[in-house]
Amino acid sequence: MTASWTNPHGAVLAAVALAAGLCLPGGLGAVTPESPEVKAAIGKALAFLEKQDDERLGGKCLIGLCFFKAEKGPNHPKIAAALAACEKALGAPTNEDNYSVGLALIFLCEVDPSRHRLLAERYVKILLERQQEGGGWGYPGNDHGDTSQTQYPVLGLWLAANSGIDVPNTAIEKACGWLLRTQDPYGAWGYQGEDPGKYQRVPQNEVRASLGAAGLGALYISCEFLGITTAPVTAAGEAAPALPAALKVVEDAQPVARRKTYVTRVIDHALARRAMTDGDNWMQKNLHGDAGQWFHYYLYALERYHSFRESALKLNDQEPKWYNEMFAKLQKEQQAAGNWEGNDNAVIATAFGTLFLLRSARKTLAHVAQRSSEGVLLGGMGLPKSTADLRERDGKIVETPFAGTVDELIALISNPDHPDFANLSDTTGAVALDSDVTKRSGQIAQLRAIVTAGTVDSRLIAIRTLGRVRELDNVPVLIHAFTTNEPRLVRATDQALRFISRKFGGVGLPDEPQEGDIKAAAAAWKAWYLSIRPTAEFLD
């Protein structure tokens, strides 16, 4: 794959605005991916792509991703072709550029990260080896990171981490730092970043909307990875100070779910927030800056940026203006064969346009959230009565769903005398907590209490659940569970801490730990926690 099809360098900044008073399609009002006219455009594009191919790995992955996002089934020929290309390319990985390697990882983690884990891990390794010292990705032998290339590794590594693959925090911290240092004073990004080596913005070259969307989207993704976009903010714009970890009563007026803190102490959170705000302001003023040469490449980056921004800011605009305006242009310019014409070729332009119309990144965020709860117990009473009620999914044994509420299940695991309690020993699940913040905080408080005082079976469920919540306030309670020396609880605690910390390799706890191993693991996890919360308090 050459840089030409995903790399808008050399294009003149198009000071092109869509005609004033741009009308929405057909004058019928706003549209969404589910609107008939949008579905029609997607259908025509897919019909075109079904007959096409691209010789490059990244091109094949983009085409396959279109059919996956359109829910055409895991066995669709274009999805299978992309997977085969990912496997084949590892025979000579040095022949593939960063665009292709990043897109291959994105494709693998989107389609089936469990089945393709080993393959995805190899792509993660390649990307980590290629990351430049400054934190970006670029051409070999050129120490200037490249905004256009960096966006895909950042998304791929975020997906990999959310698929349970070990991605070092340091890699994302370096990428985030590079993005902050190479932001133009006006808020956008250029092509090859001018890195001053410190957090003092300098003018960038070839600044335009496509690269602004690419850089800003990558910044939002890296900040989500590092916990910056989920941390509370005071009136002064600073993150609220970390509170001492302690068990909270159900009636706690400050919901636990609103006290998420950073995984990183390397990136200045105030600086990152300001960079995102400045980028948002620039993008709002320059939405149509790339309505010409690299339009379809731009659309893929634009939708990704807006999706992660919506997630960070908890926005829920189902019919955003930017989507409608860009659809109007796509609808007008779609060819009779279903394709769009772009600077690289019609296949890639059509793939980018299709992913935009499908709201690809928004689907990714929803899919990641759903995937994290698969196999999790969804309610209270009516636990599986025996292993006959278990099912295999992707090679793992999970329970069948059952009816009830979260509060009912918490009440059950708090009551060893309940007739269904004995069935807990057959489960491997956790509790899916309430989406309401206030209810959720009360449930977390009860689960923390169970971890410290429940039976082995009830503690097991509570530990697994707190691990999935991924809140740093739960760490001291989980570390306290090591004191039991009960193998099942120790292993569940170690797994929960790996998930919360993103240290998926753990701290060296063996599969059959002895007392000394458990103490060493507890000490190591305490040391990790103190490294990000120096004033932390523990329960023992």
Q: What is the pLDDT of residues 38-96, one digit of tens each?
A: 999 999 999 999 999 999 999 999 999 999 999 998 889 999 999 999 999 988 878 88
The structure tokens listed for 58 are: 């990244």
Helix, strand, or coil (residue 392): strand
Full residue range of the structural domain in which residue 406 is found: 387-532
Residue 405 has pLDDT above 80, yes or no: no
Are 193 and 323 within one domain? yes
Are 422 and 298 within one domain? no
Residue showing tokens 């290309």:
85
Residue 113 has pLDDT above 80, yes or no: yes
The structure tokens listed for 426 are: 């057959």
Closest among 136, 198, 197 to 172, alpha carbons compared: 136
Q: Please give the average per-residue pLDDT across 401-426, as a whole number.
A: 54
pLDDT at 166: 82
CATH of the domain at 348: 1.50.10.20
Residue showing tokens 């990999």:
160
Strand partners, 392: 397
Contact predicate 305/217, CB 8 Å: yes
Q: What is the pLDDT of residues 351-395, one digit of tens each?
A: 999 999 999 999 999 888 765 544 333 222 233 333 233 333 333
Domain membership flag for residue 185: yes
**Which pLDDT band, with edges at 50, 70 and 90, does 234 fall under?**
very low
Are 158 and 81 within one domain? yes
Tell me, what amino acid is at 418?
A: H
Axis crossing angle, helix 346-357 with helix 321-333, rounded to the nearest 10: 140
Are 170 and 288 within one domain? yes
**Which pLDDT band, with edges at 50, 70 and 90, does 482 fall under?**
confident
Segment (H or E) for 391: strand 390-393
Closest among 67, 48, 70, 50 to 346, alpha carbons compared: 48
pLDDT at 433: 60
pLDDT at 359: 96
Query: What are the backbone angles phi and psi of residue 508, rounded to the nearest 5°?
Result: 95, 15
Contact predicate 509/218, CB 8 Å: no
Three-class DSSP labels, 6-66: CCCCCCCCCCCCCCCCCCCHHHCCCCCCCCHHHHHHHHHHHHHHHCCCCCCHHHHHHHHHH
pLDDT at 538: 84
Are 368 and 394 within one domain? no
Least confidently predicted of 36-40, 58-62, 133-137, 437-441: 437-441
Are 358 and 456 within one domain? no
Are 413 and 341 within one domain? no
Segment (H or E) for 399: strand 396-399
Domain membership flag for residue 7: no
Tell me, what amino acid is at 293?
A: Q
**Which pLDDT band, with edges at 50, 70 and 90, does 317 fall under?**
confident
Domain membership flag for residue 19: no
Residue 206, number of CB atoms within 10 A of its CB: 18
Rg (alpha carbons) of the chain, rounded to whole number? 24
Q: State how far the Cα of 368 lies from the Cα of 25, in Å rounded to an integer.
A: 32
Among 148-157, 265-274, 427-436, top mean pLDDT goes to 148-157
Are 391 and 288 within one domain? no
In the chain, % helix, strand, coil (3-state, to 5) comes to 55, 5, 40
Q: State how far the Cα of 454 lies from the Cα of 406, in Å rounded to an integer.
A: 17
Q: State how far the Cα of 243 lies from the Cα of 140, in Å rounded to an integer.
A: 45
**Which pLDDT band, with edges at 50, 70 and 90, does 124 fall under?**
very high
Are 352 and 208 within one domain? yes
Residue showing tokens 């063996």:
510
pLDDT at 276: 96
Q: 372, 405, 427 — which closes off a domain?
A: 372
The structure tokens listed for 283 are: 């993008």
Residue 201, number of CB atoms within 10 A of its CB: 18
Q: 346, 372, 398 — which closes off a domain?
A: 372
Helix, strand, or coil (residue 494): helix
Q: State how far the Cα of 489 lies from the Cα of 436, in Å rounded to an integer.
A: 28
Residue 428 has pLDDT above 90, yes or no: no
Contact predicate 540/484, CB 8 Å: no
Are 61 and 93 within one domain? yes
Q: 321, 346, 372 — which closes off a domain?
A: 372
Domain membership flag for residue 517: yes
Q: State how far the Cα of 37 lies from the Cα of 177, in Å rounded to an integer.
A: 42
